Amino acid sequence: MAQELREAIKWINGELQDNPGANVSLLIDQASRQFNLTPLQTDFLYREYTRKDIRPIPQ
């Protein structure tokens, strides 16, 4: 897994821990820009975080 994707997952998980009701789609969008993710990496995050509403992704 690429380092920027790991950092994005860590950041999203931290945000969800601080605010469990946060909008996951908005967090993924922000992380995508902040960590310069590729479209495939961003799609991966959308799939994993919206899959049966499982959160957070294990690191």
Give me the percent of the chain exceeding a pLDDT of 90: 75
pTM over 0.85: no
Dist CA 54 CA 46 (whole Å): 11
Dist CA 15 CA 24 (whole Å): 9
Answer yes or no: is pLDDT of 58 > 70.
Answer: no
Sequence spans of domains, the chain: 3-53
Summarised one tens digit per residue, pLDDT across range 34-55 is 999 999 999 999 998 887 555 5
Which band of pLDDT confidence, cut at 50, 70 and 90, is reported for residue 56? low
Please check whether residue 14 is in contact with residue 47, taking contact to mean a CB–CB distance below 8 angstroms: no
